[in-house]
Amino acid sequence: MKKLIYIIISAAVLCAVRAEAIDEITQGATLTLDDCIELAIKNSPEIDIYKQYIEINEARVGESKASYFPSIGASAGYDFASSENKYRASHSNSTSARVALNQLIYSFGKVFSQVKMQKFYKIAAEYDLENAILNTSNNVKSAYYAVLAAKANVDIQKANVLVNERQYDRTKAFFEEGLVSKIDLVNQEVYLSDAKIGLVDAENLYQTAILQLNSAMYVIESPDYNIENTETFNFKNNYAEVNLLNIANVKANEDGTIEPTNAVLTTQVEKNEILENYKFKPYPFTMKESIEKAYKNRPDLLSMQATQDAVKEALSYTKKSYLPDLTGSVGYNWNNNSYYSTNGITMGAYLTTSNLNIMDTRLRIKESKAQLEIAKKNVDLVKQNIYFQVQNAYINMIQLEKNIPLMQTRVKQTLENYELADARYEVGLGNFIELQDAKENYNNAQRDYVQTIYRYNVALTDLQTAMGEK
């Protein structure tokens, strides 16, 4: 228990210190994933609500302990009486006051059970807070990776526009030299328009991803800001400018093919490495180990187990309702009336029961036993849900983990094919359709690669969340 409180307080202090440094997003700021998570924790109304639940349960623990402390009672009064008959009339008045100190001496375990019950409910509330923080962190991570993926896709589309602009200029030059047909030029215009539309769509998706990240951080309005790449999602957002080939300097070979006199590699921009220094490490735990970690760490399961312990103490308290309370009292009485005045100190010890109804108590015990069974079944249900959540997340993550090297190979292969098609088209050995197919295949391979990395990071985050790890 002390360890849990220490962890929560340490996390809260660290979060407060970090969040103070990024109390609000400034224009042009660059946020890390941790910055975004801490902003979300700081701004989340849901987390604030769970903090108040902890305060409520803390107060209830104190209320239960209050029975161990003495209570003070005081009273004061004035009485006047008047009576008349045919013989005589009488009048009297009296003034009285009393102060008493009452102390519970022994409750036969009832107060102890009540205090323990409220402590368990407080522990459950603390785990509920941890679960809210865990889910908030998961939402931020998913939105953060979506922004990185959208940002990479914008980069790909910018590179694609540059490629198509260069292709258009080259095709136009070939057309003016009479080396290609009009249809090639028109088709290239269409491809260039499509590339520009794709860039606009990618930028719109990026803005949408930013809005979703703002929502996950509970930030209503924010200036423009950037986010840093993560260790598992590194990519370049700078793309190389292309020096266009001077198409006018060409020569015809004896076999009729055209060869530029200053031929250079024409795929500089396409060779942009979207992911840079990508650090891919296979997941170190087996499915069985992941499930065991989840059973140990999941705050919702720990909360449910603490609730079960609280219900068990509630049953114990109800069973002890048959037992009396041993109390002690010391007081001072003063009374003054028309005839005499008295005062004195009173002391006593009492063994009492509070309106004991045997039938009502038996039914409440029966109800408490049913509630305890429900609590046990809820624990079992959460365990089953955790098992399948971890299992599904693990399988999904492993599948994407296997796809990553395959996608890397695909990008390299499509790039090589595009370079060959580009070089063939440059010297008149290839046709326009072959070139465009190769370019589209490479462009799609890059997008699919980024999407795979995005899905892998989200799947890994989901698995870590399912295991109760932030």
Axis crossing angle, helix 432-466 with helix 358-426, rounded to the nearest 10: 160
Among candidate residues 199, 201, 207, the one with its CA nearest the CA of residue 146: 207
Domain span including residue 271: 2-466
Tell me the pairing of strands 226-227 and 30-31: parallel
Amino acid identity at 9:
I
Tell me if 102 sits within 8 A of 69, measured CB to CB. Answer: no
Q: Name the residue among 397, 413, 412 with its Cα closest to residue 457.
A: 397
Record the pTM.
0.77
In sequence order, what are the residues at sequence separation of 6 or more whose Cβ sits closer than 8 angstroms to the Cβ of residue 193? none
How many structural domains are present in the chain?
A: 1
Residues in the chain: 470
The domain that contains 40 carries what CATH number? 1.20.1600.10
Picking from 244, 180, 138, the residue whose alpha carbon sits closest to that of residue 457 is 138
Structure tokens at 188: 């290239």
Per-residue pLDDT at 46: 94
Q: How far is CA 244 from CA 36, 168, 184, in A?
A: 42, 11, 18
How far apart (Å, rounded) are the C-alpha atoms in residues 31 and 22? 9
Residue 268: per-residue pLDDT? 36
Question: What is the distance between the terminal CA atoms of the chain, rounded to a whole angstrom?
Answer: 20
Nearest Cα to 151, choosing from 73, 230, 95, 83? 230
Residue-level pLDDT at 200: 92
Per-residue pLDDT of the chain (470 residues; tens, 9 = 90+): 444 444 444 455 444 444 445 677 888 788 889 999 999 999 999 999 999 999 999 999 998 988 888 889 888 888 876 767 666 666 678 888 888 888 888 888 888 999 999 999 999 999 999 999 999 999 999 999 999 989 888 888 888 888 888 888 888 888 887 777 888 888 888 888 988 999 999 999 999 999 999 999 999 888 888 888 887 777 654 333 333 333 334 444 555 444 444 333 333 334 445 555 555 677 888 999 999 999 999 999 999 999 999 999 999 988 888 888 888 889 888 888 767 788 888 888 888 887 778 888 889 899 999 999 999 999 999 999 999 999 999 999 999 988 888 888 888 888 888 888 888 877 777 777 888 888 888 888 888 888 998 999 999 999 999 999 87
